[in-house]
Amino acid sequence: MRTFSSPTGDPFQIGFLLIDGFSLLTYSAAAEPLRAANQLAGEKRYEIWNIPAQGARSTASCGAIIPANAHVGERLRFDLVMVVSSTDSPDAQQPRLLDWLRQLSRRKIPLGGLGTGPLMLARAGLLRQRRMTLHWAYQHALLEMQPDIKLDQQLYVVDKDRITCAGGTAPFDLMHALIADQHGHEFARAVSDWWSHANVRASEDSQRSGRAQRYRTNNATVLRAIGLMDTHLSDPLDLVQLAESVGVTARQLNRLFNFHMRCSTMTFYRRLRLHKSLQLLTQTSLPISEVVAATGFVSTSHFSQAFKSRYTKTPAQARACDGDEMLAAFSSGHRDGVDVDD
């Protein structure tokens, strides 16, 4: 990891641009290790600036309020500014915020994003020619908006003067690496131990459990087939192609899916594609025709019929709902949004 250090030897100045609705867990996992570092060191090694998108305070998704001690446009000496958000909210698309981030970049201030914060950096054009990561639930949406982005699946990525992190508990691991670079591994370990974070993960660790854990099956044939489905959502394979690719007959593959996933192979496949469509509808402004193409449906009418049958709402109605609310409602009790007990 590249070390970002204060050029004057003063406390490292880190600003958190907090977009209303941000995850308190994500913010705390980044800010609390820095506070603990100050306490354990007996001196202020990190100065934390909380910057609301607007007004005098920021409100987390749980209702917790973080008062401002800095403001957008204020010309402070930042050593790093991190965008913290958990949804792609209208605030994250404000031109004045995007312009301010570009101004910081022109001042050579390193920038980062936690959770869905990297979406904002990408929208501002600040991740060009940079590797990046993003919370897994929003990766499809980003790739549809910017197909050429260099997206990794890691917990966090540091590329030159950009830091991106998946959010959740991953900032604990990111901050461990930053503190270790600046103050040594022994001190960083003491900070992590303070929070009982004994198993520090490497940047390249996966954001999610493997398919076997997510789908609660160890059947290698079923898992290989699901892997193929994941990589062919916009250009679906037929049953015979799937079966041949995993080395069984179509009849055998259906038997395996009915036993392990409690639905037919192609029903499972269609649910994966519909779940991706739900993500795109609620997380992007892509036209419905492009969502249809991205999920491999033959026509808008066919897609709309399948979507309403699955989710009881039309695509337009789903888009009007709160994105997190829709995804939570339709993912609860599902495996990646795929029912197994219909």
Task: Tell me the pLDDT tens digit for each residue of 101-146.
Answer: 999 999 999 999 999 999 999 999 999 889 999 988 888 778 877 8
Residue 169 maps to which CATH number? 3.40.50.880
The yes-or-no verdict on residue 334 having pLDDT over 90 is no
**Are 229 and 174 within one domain?**
no
When divided into structural domains, the chain yields a total of 2
**Residue 143 belongs to a domain:** yes
What pLDDT score was predicted for residue 17? 97
What pLDDT does 140 receive? Answer: 78
Residues 76 and 16 in one domain: yes
- Sheet containing strand 111-115, strands side by side: 46-52, 12-18, 80-85, 111-115, 162-165, 156-159
Does 3 map to a domain?
no
pLDDT of residue 147: 83
b/e string for 42-64 if b means 16 or more Cβ within 10 A? eeebbbbbbbbbeeeebbbbeee
pLDDT at position 190 is 96
- In this structure, are 179 and 111 located in the same domain? yes
242 in the same domain as 150: no
pLDDT band for position 336 (cuts 50, 70, 90) = low
Residue range(s) defining the domain that contains residue 142: 12-194
pLDDT tier at 327, thresholds 50, 70, 90: low
- Residues 189 and 239 reside in one and the same domain: no
Distance of CA 38 to the CA centre of its chain: 29
Q: Percent of the chain at pLDDT above 70? A: 91
> For the chain, what is the mean pLDDT?
89
Residues 25, 4: Cα–Cα separation, whole Å? 24
Question: What was the pLDDT predicted at 325?
Answer: 55
Check pLDDT > 80 for residue 31. yes
- Residue 274 domain-assigned (yes or no): yes
Asked whether residue 166 falls in the same domain as residue 237, the answer is no
Are the CB atoms for 17 and 51 separated by under 8 Å?
yes
Average pLDDT of 155-181? Answer: 95
Is pLDDT at 335 greater than 90 in this prediction? no
User: In terms of pLDDT, which residue wins out, 338 or 169?
Assistant: 169
**Helix (H, G, I), strand (E, B), or coil: what is residue 203?**
coil
The domain boundary, picked from 162, 194, 226, lies at 194
**Confidence class of residue 333 from pLDDT cuts 50, 70 and 90?**
very low
307 vs 332 pLDDT, higher one? 307
55 has a pLDDT exceeding 90: yes
Domain containing residue 303: CATH number: 1.10.10.60
Q: Determine the average pLDDT of the residues in 329-339.
A: 52
Confidence band for 50, pLDDT divided at 50, 70 and 90: very high
User: Does residue 258 share a domain with residue 171?
Assistant: no
Are both 151 and 69 inside the same structural domain?
yes
Residues 167 and 65 both lie in one domain: yes
Instruction: Select from 194, 220, 245 the last residue of a domain.
Output: 194
Question: Does residue 342 surpass a pLDDT of 70?
Answer: no
Tell me the per-residue pLDDT of 200-255, one tens digit each, with 9 for 90 and over: 999 988 787 778 878 889 899 999 999 999 989 999 999 999 999 999 999 999 99
Looking at the structure, do residues 102 and 130 belong to the same domain, yes or no?
A: yes
| pLDDT of 88 above 70 | no
Lowest mean pLDDT among 8-17, 231-240, 333-342: 333-342
260: CB partners within 8 A, 6+ apart: 215, 217, 219, 222
Domain boundary, last residue among 194, 223, 258: 194
Give the largest CA-CA distance in the chain. Answer: 69
